[in-house]
Amino acid sequence: MDPIILSATFMLGLLAHRIRLPALAGFIIAGFILHTMGFTASENIKTVGDLGVTLLLFTIGLKLKIKQLLRPEIWATGTIHMVCTVLFFGAIIHGLTLIGFHYFANLSLGSALLLGFALSFSSTVFAVKIMEESGAANVLIGKLAIGILIIQDVLAVIFITCSSDSPPTVWALVVIALLPVARWCFSYILDHTGHGELQVLFGMALALAVGAGVFDLVGLKADLGALVMGMLLATHPRASELSDSLLSIKDFMLIGFFLNIGLEGLPDITTLVLAVLLVLFIPLKSALFLFLFTRFDLSARTSFITSMTLTNYSEFGLIVGAVGVSSGWLETKWLMIIAIALSLSFIAASPLNMFAEELFEKCRNVLKRIETDSPHPDEERIPAGVAWQIIIVGMGRVGTQTYDILREFFGDIILGVDADQEKVLQHKELGRDVIYVDAADGDFWRGLAELGSVQINVLTIPSLETKLYAMNMAKKVGLGGKFIAVTEYDDELDVLREHGADFAFNTYDEVGIGLASDIYGCLDAAGIVLHKIRHIE
């Protein structure tokens, strides 16, 4: 049965991808279709899905630094939003109970607030998958969204712990006390695992056995353990490499999570009506996020895109609902209602996130009005006073080498752009003119167009979608100059040229040319003369 399920899931995922929707939307729809055909989720699929979520939280931890959570735009926004959402949803649901609305009969005020709490979460799994597909996981938007989600998850863990009949054991304090020692041990091991299968095995063992396993044994949530294990290694130089090594395994396992949502079953008409009603409230969650983000001086675009990422319900809502059912605070039917609302929210949010940039551009003039007058320190503007002629977007290894060589030829007329704040700071310390900007930000390209001096735009960012959007936006705002795009895949070269790239290159082709040039230079410097040998047939 599982091979048939996986084959159908692939076909629906591929179809979703071809119509420019996230593949996960296809996975969920595949689950619903398969359920109508009599298929159910096997234990294998459920187990794989659970392991995928655990690995996801581990990789999130690898990218998360504690100091990020202490920023007011994260902890304050997350906390205020949850309190307001719980009170709003609780009041609406309790109001429907008081007026005698049939479906909400017998719900006390406490039960209404519990439902509001369950619906206040946004999905970590959905948001991270969306950000990874759009290339936004490491930019400001991604850091904000992940920070908010971590705040929500922590509050959920506190609630579940306090509501549990079996609270954490005394050994939980011992585990927490040993974390600094564990961090040193795990860092030492990671230094000596190499770059192959041992590194992958170490990451999986750390997430699934040490993190999830040990935390579960002492009465703490297993997923929290995986997150903490990742956070212990977040500052390690090879944290990103470890995360990348687990990427394919994690993505495959998460298919089980999304597929299982659909395979859980179709609702009856009453359940479906209630679920749709709950989904209609989601825009209010987004609007509140948008308002709160702008109060902390974030730009309208950053606030809008981040809010879109959080526009959904969460699997944590199911966990909270299950706690309510087991404690007798909620009827069992509410678990199915929350599950269907969760599924529908994923399907509705998928196209919203896919076209979030386009939606913002259409509403830009209205949304800009709610910005504060003080710019956020993490949102840099183009430095004034220099007529920049060459722009390099993406200051990784390829972008940095390109920057350095071009500066030797043309001087200080080159501006580097990158969405990784730490990388930008490193470049600035080394004397390079680099600013912290998301390449998908339309206002950045408008600023370049206003300069009127740009002659060459070099795109070395990995995401094809971001490169295409950047070129489209640049031409839309009237930015002149040639566009040069770099990619790792041959099949993307024609796509880049068709969408406006004047020149497109494969990174690996250029590496070979550069290596051959360097070898020739080394031979010449060493005075080594090689003689050609004529092949004689």
Condensed to tens digits (0 to 9), the pLDDT of residues 2-16 reads 678 888 888 888 888
Residues 402 and 359 reside in one and the same domain? no
Q: Which amino acid is present at 85? A: T
Domain stops at, among 340, 370, 400: 370
Residues 131 and 232 reside in one and the same domain? yes
Phi/psi of residue 524, nearest 5 degrees? -65, -40
- Full residue range of the structural domain in which residue 221 is found: 2-370
Q: How confident is the model at residue 78, as a pLDDT?
A: 92
Residue % of the chain over a pLDDT of 90: 16
Residues 80 and 165 reside in one and the same domain? yes
Residues 338 and 477 reside in one and the same domain? no
- The residues near 494 (Cβ < 8 Å, ≥ 6 apart) are none
pLDDT top residue among 330 and 88: 88
Residues 104 and 236 reside in one and the same domain? yes
Q: How confident is the model at residue 303, as a pLDDT?
A: 93
pLDDT tens readout for residues 474-487: 888 888 888 999 98
Q: How confident is the model at residue 295, as a pLDDT?
A: 92
Is 376 a member of any domain? Answer: no
Give residue 535's pLDDT band: very low, low, confident or very high (50, 70, 90). low
Is 284 a member of any domain? Answer: yes
Rounded-to-integer distance, Cα 34 and Cα 15, Å: 16
Q: How confident is the model at residue 252, as a pLDDT?
A: 84
Mean per-residue pLDDT of the chain: 83
Query: Which single residue is written with the structure tokens 């599924």?
Result: 343
The CA-atom distances, in angstroms, between 98 and each of 106, 109, 112, 177, 416 are: 9, 10, 11, 49, 60
Rounded-to-integer distance, Cα 40 and Cα 136, Å: 34
Residues 208 and 339 reside in one and the same domain? yes
pLDDT top residue among 25 and 305: 305
Is 248 a member of any domain? Answer: yes
pLDDT greater than 60 at residue 536: no
Residues 114 and 28 reside in one and the same domain? yes
pLDDT top residue among 319 and 370: 370
pLDDT tens readout for residues 227-272: 888 888 888 888 888 888 887 888 888 888 777 777 766 667 877 8
Q: How confident is the model at residue 322, as a pLDDT?
A: 72
Q: Say if residues 338 and 312 touch (Cβ distance below 8 Å).
A: no
Q: Say if residues 488 and 508 touch (Cβ distance below 8 Å).
A: yes
Domain stops at, among 338, 370, 402: 370
pLDDT greater than 60 at residue 69: yes
Pick from 98-107, 138-147, 512-521 the range whose average pLDDT is largest: 138-147
pLDDT greater than 80 at residue 137: no
Q: How confident is the model at residue 216, as a pLDDT?
A: 83
The CA-atom distances, in angstroms, between 398 and each of 117, 170, 436, 461, 464 are: 47, 51, 17, 9, 16
Residue % of the chain over a pLDDT of 70: 91
Q: What's the CATH code of the domain at 135? A: 1.20.1530.20
Q: How confident is the model at residue 429, as a pLDDT?
A: 92
Give residue 416's pLDDT band: very low, low, confident or very high (50, 70, 90). very high
Q: How confident is the model at residue 446, as a pLDDT?
A: 87
Is 532 a member of any domain? Answer: no
Q: How confident is the model at residue 266, as a pLDDT?
A: 67
Q: How many domains does the structure of the chain reveal?
A: 2
End-to-end CA distance of the chain: 60
Q: How confident is the model at residue 533, as a pLDDT?
A: 60
Stretch 287-309: mean pLDDT: 92
DSSP-derived secondary structure letter, 312: S
Closest residue by Cα to residue 507 from 393, 399, 385, 345: 399
Is 511 a member of any domain? Answer: yes
Rounded-to-integer distance, Cα 345 and Cα 315, Å: 11
Integer Rg of the chain from CA: 26
Q: What's the CATH code of the domain at 450? A: 3.40.50.720
- Of all helices (H) and strands (E), which one includes residue 390? strand 390-393
Using left for φ > 0, alpha for ψ between -120 and 50, and beta otherwise, residue 265 falls in left
Query: Which single residue is written with the structure tokens 């200051």?
Result: 395
Residues 274 and 324 reside in one and the same domain? yes
Residues 162 and 206 reside in one and the same domain? yes
Closest residue by Cα to residue 424 from 461, 399, 395, 444: 395
SS3 38: coil
Q: How confident is the model at residue 20, as a pLDDT?
A: 67
Residues 448 and 303 reside in one and the same domain? no
Residues written for the chain: 537
Rounded-to-integer distance, Cα 451 and Cα 453, Å: 5
Domain stops at, among 337, 370, 403: 370
SS3 415: strand
Q: How confident is the model at residue 164, as a pLDDT?
A: 60
**In 313-330, which positions are buried (b, 16+ CB within 10 angstroms) versus exposed (e)?**
bbbbbbbbbbbbeeeebb
Is 536 a member of any domain? Answer: no
The DSSP code sequence of 220-262 is: S-HHHHHHHHHHHTTTSTTHHHHHHHTHHHHHHHHHHHHHHHH
Q: How many CB atoms lie within 10 A of CB 367?
A: 18
Residues 264 and 359 reside in one and the same domain? yes
Is 384 a member of any domain? Answer: no
Rounded-to-integer distance, Cα 160 and Cα 45, Å: 25
pLDDT greater than 60 at residue 381: yes
Q: How confident is the model at residue 488, as a pLDDT?
A: 87
pLDDT greater than 60 at residue 534: no
pLDDT greater than 90 at residue 159: no
CA triplet 207, 122, 73: central angle to 5 degrees?
95
Q: How many CB atoms lie within 10 A of CB 83?
A: 13
Residues 356 and 285 reside in one and the same domain? yes
Phi/psi of residue 436, nearest 5 degrees? -95, 100
Is 469 a member of any domain? Answer: yes
